[in-house]
Amino acid sequence: MRNEVQLIAYADRLGGDLPGLTRLLRGPLAGAFGGVHVLPFFTPYDGADAGFDPVDHTAVDPRLGSWDDVRELATTHDTVVDLIVNHVSAESAAFGDARARGDASPHAGMFLTMSSVFPDGATEEDLTRIYRPRPGLPFTPIRLGDRLRYVWTTFTPQQIDIDVRSPAGTAYLTSILDAVAGAGVTLVRLDAVGYAVKTPGTTCFMTPETFAFIEEFTGQARARGVDVLVEVHSYFRRQIEIGRSVDLVYDFALPPLVLHALYTGDGTVLARWMAERPANSVTVLDTHDGIGVIDVGPDQTVQPGEPPRPGLLEPAQVDALVHGIHARTGGASERATGAAASNLDLYQVNSTFYDALGGDDHAYLAARAIQLFTPGVPQVYYVGALAGGNDLDLLSRTGVGRDINRHHYTPAEVESALARPVVAALLDLCRFRNTLPAFDGGVEVELVGSVLRMTRRGVAEPAATAHLAVDLADASATIGWTTADGASGRTSDLLAAPPRA
């Protein structure tokens, strides 16, 4: 996979469908993105959870295109696809058969129930130990055949958890992996994999059994020429541990730490994180989910009697960060966050990253420059790529908090956004990151007062260098560079004169 910036996008919400997304990437976005994470395009892409509840995970929704369209996209761009390993839709054919026939169904063993995980029964302590992303227990009463069962539903009653260790579950996941590998996909993202293995007497989240499953599945993917990106929002030290056993892991601590640094003018924690974060990271500031705060806070899985495990930020700093986002969005994020708007995850703040910085173009470009100078593969969410604001109309229509950051762009809106100076500057910054051969090694970080300095030096081309200085107190930023042939340049206003190596 090439070391270039990647786009994250729903095909229907940016290009209209897969061919439309391809045209944008090869047209006005050319050079800015060397790869694309296409959010779920399976049947149906517009289900209960915006495609993360597939009825048929091996089929492209015909309203968006076909596997041939995915193959065509992959001829010019590294293509990342979601593998939803934890659950399927309650409307899937397999679960429908299990619901109709109960234990007589050949698919019955594919789905987890309370009794299949706790065959000897569960104590109150067993149940309260289970970690999940929303209040309450992860069970939904559903009649399977002639019996009412407590079916395991980590996220919503429409998303039925799979027994990934069962023969039927294993065959199902293998069929998905074969389908995406056959379409030329470069990287698969294991969605919600932290919840995939349920072990009695544990939190059922990122346990040793989970790590073993991730390692085994990664081996299967690599055998098909596909790399694995693990998606887990959790305590920061757990992310470091995950990074040791997979190809790539998200740096979900980066977004809140960048906001904290720009809000306070203090880059101490951000600079310290640069020294210990996993080197094999995908860096993001925004995704289709909210801005995570659990990733910088204390460990939420600590059990009674265990010593606390502090986070990167103190609880008071996390609170100040959340209130800072709410203030800068004029309260819009508060309307979309927590119990206010049917959220699955109470540990994320729902807002576009642009609005989380108060719509300040200079602060936004400074934040993106920090992201692009941080080692790893950068990904930019489509709303962020167009410096989009919070979609309060969509939030009002759906009542789903995360929709505030999931705007449906018309072709006219895309054209208008591309004409904005902040968007043009961001795309040029991405092209600079893609073309200057200074970003294949580590980073040197120095904090002098409120000024964060980051230096990247080429490994394959040692003469190529890139230097970033951001004054966190006022978000002013300067970039300087030297090319492999010794030419140099400098810009002190990313909005007026973005770098072009």
The residue among 161, 192, 216 that closes a domain is 161
Angle, helix 361-373 to helix 254-264, in steps of 10 degrees: 130
Distance (Å, whole) CA 205 – CA 198: 7
The residue among 161, 187, 203 that closes a domain is 161
For residue 471, being part of any structural domain is answered with yes
Q: What is the CATH number of the domain that holds 121?
A: 3.90.400.10
Residues 383 and 358 in one domain: yes
Residues 152 and 177 in one domain: no
Q: Which pLDDT tens digit goes with each residue over 253-268?
A: 999 999 999 999 999 9
The DSSP element (H or E) to which 68 belongs, if any, is: helix 67-74
What pTM was computed for the model?
0.94
Residues 289 and 403 in one domain: yes
The residue among 406, 435, 464 that closes a domain is 435
Residues 375 and 258 in one domain: yes
Distance (Å, whole) CA 138 – CA 134: 9
Number of domains in the chain: 3
Query: For the stretch 188-216, what's the b/e string if a residue is b when 16 or more beta carbons lie within 10 angstroms of its beta carbon?
Result: bbbbbbbbbbbeeebbbbbbebbbebbee
Q: Which residues contact 410 (CB under 8 A, 6 or more apart)?
A: none
Range scoring the smallest mean pLDDT among 8-22, 153-167, 225-239, 399-413: 225-239
Phi first, then psi: give them for residue 159, nearest 5 degrees. -120, 105
The DSSP element (H or E) to which 457 belongs, if any, is: strand 451-457
Q: What is the CATH number of the domain that holds 270?
A: 3.20.20.80
For residue 145, being part of any structural domain is answered with yes
Flag whether pLDDT at 342 surpasses 60.
no
Residues noted as catalytic: 191, 231
Residues 332 and 353 in one domain: yes
The whole-number pLDDT of residue 243 equals 84
Q: Which pLDDT tens digit goes with each residue over 56-70?
A: 999 999 999 999 999
Q: Which pLDDT tens digit goes with each residue over 122-137?
A: 999 999 999 887 778 9
Q: Which amino acid appears at position 132 of this protein?
A: R
**Mean per-residue pLDDT for 382-408?**
96
Q: Give the range of the structural domain holding residue 150, as residue numbers without chain letter.
A: 93-161
pLDDT band at 344 (very low <50, low <70, confident <90, very high): very low
pLDDT band at 375 (very low <50, low <70, confident <90, very high): very high
For residue 496, being part of any structural domain is answered with no
Distance (Å, whole) CA 379 – CA 38: 12
Paired tokens of 400: 């789903």
Q: In whole angstroms, how far apart are CA 480 and each of 27, 278, 435, 446?
A: 28, 26, 14, 15
**Which ranges of 244-360 does DSSP label H, i.e. alpha helix?**
254-264, 268-276, 315-328, 332-335, 353-356
For residue 228, being part of any structural domain is answered with yes
Q: Which residues contact 360 (CB under 8 A, 6 or more apart)?
A: 475
Residues 138 and 33 in one domain: no
Q: Are 285 and 224 in contact (CB under 8 A)?
A: no
Q: Which residues contact 448 (CB under 8 A, 6 or more apart)?
A: none
For residue 301, being part of any structural domain is answered with yes
Residues 259 and 307 in one domain: yes
**Mean per-residue pLDDT for 469-478?**
98
The whole-number pLDDT of residue 402 equals 93
Q: Which pLDDT tens digit goes with each residue over 178-195?
A: 999 999 999 999 998 999
Of the chain, the end-to-end C-alpha distance in Å amounts to 22
Residues 485 and 358 in one domain: no
Paired tokens of 374: 């941080």
Q: Are 109 and 37 in contact (CB under 8 A)?
A: no
For residue 497, being part of any structural domain is answered with no
3-state secondary structure (DSSP) of residue 69: helix
Please count the other Cβ atoms lying within 10 Å of the Cβ belonging to residue 424: 14
Angle at CA of residue 158, ends 221 and 49, nearest 5°? 65
DSSP string, 2-23: -SS-EEEE-HHHHTSSHHHHHH
The answer to whether the Cα torsion of 244, 245, 248, 252 is positive or negative is: negative
pLDDT band at 17 (very low <50, low <70, confident <90, very high): very high
Distance (Å, whole) CA 356 – CA 328: 6
Residues 454 and 430 in one domain: no
Residues 310 and 457 in one domain: no
Residues 274 and 414 in one domain: yes
Q: Are 52 and 40 in contact (CB under 8 A)?
A: yes
Paired tokens of 132: 């999940």
Residues 346 and 452 in one domain: no
State the average pLDDT for the chain. 94
Beta strand 227-230 with 187-191 is parallel
Residue set of the binding site for substrate: 49, 87, 189-191, 231, 288-289, 345-348, 402
Q: Which of 425, 406, 410 is nearest to 287 (CA)?
A: 406
Q: Cα 393 to chain center, whole Å?
A: 24
Paired tokens of 393: 């109309």
For residue 500, being part of any structural domain is answered with no
What percentage of residues in the chain have a pLDDT greater than 90?
Answer: 86
Distance (Å, whole) CA 85 – CA 2: 26
Q: How many residues does the chain have?
A: 501
pLDDT band at 339 (very low <50, low <70, confident <90, very high): low
For residue 413, being part of any structural domain is answered with yes
Query: CB pairs under 8 A, 24+ apart, for 454-457?
Result: 454/274, 454/370, 454/373, 454/374, 456/373, 456/375
Distance (Å, whole) CA 307 – CA 323: 28
